[in-house]
Every structure is written in structure tokens, then in C-alpha cells.
């Protein structure tokens, strides 16, 4: 019988398993021990049919929402999750964990390798979206949860939600995938590679062994700057910044140490991420996104998608330049061809990929009604 260790630090909870290094990765390698940081909201009802798993995007963590008005730390989805909100924690029991490979409590490159007493760094194994989902499944096993109402995720979280539906088709009643395609296209892989190279070209990366010295803050900052460009639409950028300058126009002829407002914004966002995120984790998670390909794992996309039994809500964003409508409509068509019970919605927005984090009014009815449909169906059984 597998051994699970549990402990808590404030609102954050932890479970550790694979003490004998016996967790099998998609690569075929074994790894362990693994610690998972997670947070929960609301209460499990007596029927145990109100459980929702939320999976996070690239730089997210387990803190999906504030636990109370006194909670000093904002949640990354505060507008969506909480009492009376579209994912209503008065009604649903919500679980969110930091992904495997992360840097917010779950084992990742910055974690200590028990064999060396030093952070893994670049010795951490290459991982996949499937590995992240299998670790989440171990978490739910540890919590003695054998079925959930829905798994919900956007962007990289949407990839995890899709993988859940394919790998564990009987485990959930519904899936909500927001702004995440079946696989990354060449352009998205190219963006990720440029971001990784910015980190690895920083002289302070030190081959991934920087934890006892100054880290690659400039490289990570530049990676984030590029990422922020892909998360927003050109229309939104024009509206927010246009060509406004922070410095007098005359100074632009004297030095490169001058800024347009959009440049100032990108610099701020880059350094803000440096304060809370690990550069190696950025490398590993973007590579996991690159590798995500259901066709490779299950023989073909068609065979993979035929495994899905859950009702599926797929949401696309009209102005998304990272995962544009063409990719999302391709996914819609493939899901329908596979016979998946699908609800497909397109959100009209100028916010680009970031829409699913900020425009709660546009998602409220779609998501709350889908969850209500699942929940009522469960209550009738």
C-alpha cells in the first residue's frame, strides 16, 4: 500500500509520495519522492458529487483564490472562484494544486534532491503534461477521491484538463478547457524556444545551478516580456499604450535608456515575475507544453479523443494570438468527429489570451450554467 505523508502550512497543504523513487514518468524513467502543494475551498457534500479540480496556467500556483477577506495574498482567479462566484465555493468543493515541475511548493527543479542535498537544477527530469496529470491523480488518490464533477483549466491548465479527460475518462463528469488547443503549433513552439534561450543565454544561469548565487533574472525577465506580448492583442496594446512616451522625445536621440509606455510595462512585468518564479521551472514547463501531443501518446488524435466520456466545454477567444481561433475550431471539429458531447463557445474580446483571467462577466453564465447542468444531472442519479 502506497505511503502518503500529509502536513499543512497555513492555507497551503502538502502530500508526499513515491518515497522509493517509483513514480513512472512518461519518458519511462522513475522519480521520487514527490511533494505536491495544494489548496482547497468549500466543503465536500454528503453525496461527494460537488468536487471540482482546477488546473493552472504556466506561471500559476495552487492559490487560485483568496480563502477569506483577511487573506493577504490575491488568488490568480479571484474573479472566478469564491462564494457566490461562477465557481461557487458555497456549493462546490474546489481543489487546486501546484503542478509537478513547479516552484510554489510542488517538487520541481528548485527542490532539494535528497541524494545530493542540493537543488535538482537541470538534473531534474524532462516532464510532460501527462506527468503533471498523473501526479494530480496521485494527490486525489491520497485524498481518497475517486470521482469528480469537473476539471477546469485555461491555457496550460486546459492541456491538463484535456489530458485528464483522455487518461482518466471515467473519473469526471465534465471538462472545461479555456483557450487551449490540442497541441502547440510551430509558432507557439518557436515563442517558447526564444523564451528558453533568453534564460539560458543569461550568464547567471550557470547551466541551471544558480540557487546559491545570483540567478538569471534578466533572462527570465526577457522571457516574460515576450510571453506578455503573446497574451494580449494588438488592439488592446494600442488602446492601453498607443505610442505614448515616458520620456521626452528629445531624449530618445541621446540614449537607449528611454522608454515608450509599452516598454515600461513589459519591463515591469518581467521583473515582477522574477520575484516569484523560478527560471528553471519556466524552462521545464514550456518544454512540457511543446511536447504535448495526444497523437503521439495514443497513436492518433482520433483514438485519443474517442476515449473521452465527459461532457466537454471548449471556450475560445476571438483575439487570441497565442492560440488563435483556427486552432480552437480545429479542436472543436476533432472533438465532434470523435463523438464527444461538446459545448463550444467563442468569447468576443480585445484582451487576447489574457481574457480568461480578467473578463469574468463574459464567462460567468457559460461556466456557471455548464457546472449547474453537470451538478443537477449528478443529483438526479
DSSP structure string for 232-287:
S-HHHHHHHTTT-BSS-GGGGGT-S---BHHHHHHHHHHHHHHTT--HHHHHHHHH
Residues composing the chain: 381
CATH 3.40.50.1820 residue ranges for the chain: 5-184+294-375
179 touches 154 (CB < 8 A): yes
Residue 67 a catalytic site member: no
d(C-alpha 60, C-alpha 53), whole Å: 14
Q: In the chain, list all ranges with CATH 1.10.1740.110.
A: 189-284
How much is the pLDDT for 121? Answer: 98
Is 320 designated active site? yes
Please, which residues have CB within 8 angstroms of residue 193's CB and are 6 or more apart in sequence? 290
Q: Is 307 annotated among the ligand-binding residues?
A: no
Q: How many CB atoms lie within 10 A of CB 243?
A: 8
Task: From the candidates 56, 111, 173, 353, give the one annotated as an active-site residue.
Answer: 353
Q: Which of 155, 167, 180, 355 is catalytic?
A: 155
pLDDT at residue 381, as a whole number: 60
The pLDDT value given to residue 378: 66
**Which of the following is catalytic: 320, 349, 350, 355?**
320
Q: Which CATH superfamily is domain 5-184+294-375 in?
A: Alpha/Beta hydrolase fold, catalytic domain (3.40.50.1820)
pLDDT by position in tens, the chain (length 381): 789 999 999 999 999 999 999 999 999 999 999 999 999 999 999 999 999 999 999 999 999 999 998 899 999 999 999 999 999 999 999 999 999 999 999 999 999 999 999 999 999 999 999 999 999 999 999 999 999 999 999 999 999 999 999 999 999 999 999 999 999 999 999 999 999 999 999 999 999 999 999 999 999 999 999 999 999 999 999 999 999 988 888 888 888 888 999 999 999 999 999 999 999 999 999 999 999 999 888 999 999 999 999 999 999 999 999 999 999 999 999 999 999 999 999 999 999 999 999 999 999 999 999 999 999 876 666
Active-site residue flag, 353: yes
Q: Quick one: pLDDT at residue 279?
A: 98
Task: State in words which class domain 189-284 has.
Answer: mainly alpha
- The 10s digit of each residue's pLDDT in 327-356 is 999 999 999 999 999 999 999 999 999 999
What pLDDT, on the 0 to 100 scale, is given for residue 289? 98
Question: Annotation-wise, does 224 bind a ligand?
Answer: yes
| pLDDT, tens digit (0-9, with 9 covering 90-100), for 141-153 | 999 999 999 999 9
Angle at 33 between CA 30 and CA 39, to 5 degrees: 120
Residue 214, H or E segment: none
Amino acid at each position: 500500500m502506497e505511503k502518503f505523508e500529509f502536513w499543512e502550512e497555513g492555507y497551503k497543504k502538502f502530500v508526499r509520495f513515491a518515497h522509493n523513487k517509483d513514480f513512472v514518468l512518461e519518458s519511462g524513467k522513475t522519480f521520487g519522492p514527490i511533494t505536491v502543494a495544494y489548496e482547497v475551498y468549500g466543503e465536500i457534500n454528503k453525496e461527494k458529487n460537488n468536487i471540482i479540480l482546477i488546473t493552472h496556467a504556466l506561471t500559476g500556483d495552487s492559490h487560485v483564490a483568496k480563502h477569506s477577506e483577511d487573506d493577504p495574498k490575491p488568488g490568480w482567479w479571484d474573479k472566478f472562484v469564491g462564494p457566490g462566484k461562477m465557481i461557487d465555493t458555497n456549493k462546490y468543493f474546489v481543489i487546486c494544486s501546484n503542478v509537478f515541475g513547479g516552484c510554489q511548493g510542488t517538487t520541481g527543479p528548485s527542490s532539494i534532491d535528497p541524494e545530493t542535498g542540493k537543488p535538482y537544477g537541470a538534473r531534474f527530469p524532462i516532464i510532460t503534461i501527462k506527468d503533471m496529470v498523473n501526479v494530480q491523480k496521485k494527490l486525489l488518490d491520497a485524498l481518497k477521491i475517486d470521482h469528480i464533477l469537473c476539471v477546469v483549466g485555461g491555457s496550460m491548465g486546459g492541456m491538463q484538463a484535456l489530458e485528464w479527460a483522455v487518461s482518466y475518462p471515467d473519473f469526471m463528469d465534465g471538462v472545461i478547457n479555456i483557450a487551449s488547443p490540442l497541441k502547440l503549433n510551430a509558432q507557439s513552439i518557436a515563442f517558447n524556444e526564444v523564451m528558453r534561450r533568453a534564460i539560458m543565454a543569461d550568464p547567471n544561469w550557470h547551466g541551471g545551478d544558480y540557487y546559491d548565487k545570483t540567478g538569471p533574472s534578466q533572462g527570465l525577465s526577457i522571457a516574460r516580456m515576450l510571453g506578455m506580448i503573446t497574451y494580449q492583442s494588438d488592439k488592446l496594446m494600442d488602446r492601453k499604450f498607443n505610442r505614448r512616451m515616458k520620456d521626452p522625445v528629445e531624449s530618445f536621440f541621446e540614449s537607449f535608456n528611454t522608454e515608450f509606455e509599452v516598454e515600461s510595462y513589459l519591463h515591469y512585468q518581467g521583473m515582477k515575475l522574477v520575484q516569484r518564479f523560478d527560471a528553471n521551472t519556466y524552462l521545464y514547463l514550456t518544454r512540457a507544453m511543446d511536447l504535448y501531443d495526444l497523437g503521439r501518446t495514443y497513436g492518433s488524435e482520433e483514438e485519443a479523443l474517442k476515449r473521452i466520456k465527459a461532457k466537454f466545454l471548449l471556450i475560445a477567444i476571438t483575439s487570441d494570438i497565442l492560440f488563435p481561433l483556427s486552432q480552437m475550431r480545429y479542436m472543436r471539429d476533432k472533438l465532434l468527429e470523435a463523438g464527444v458531447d461538446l459545448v463550444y463557445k467563442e468569447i468576443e474580446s480585445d484582451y487576447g489570451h489574457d481574457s480568461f483571467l480578467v473578463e469574468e462577466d463574459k464567462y460567468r453564465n457559460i461556466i456557471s450554467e455548464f457546472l449547474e447542468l453537470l451538478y443537477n444531472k449528478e443529483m438526479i442519479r
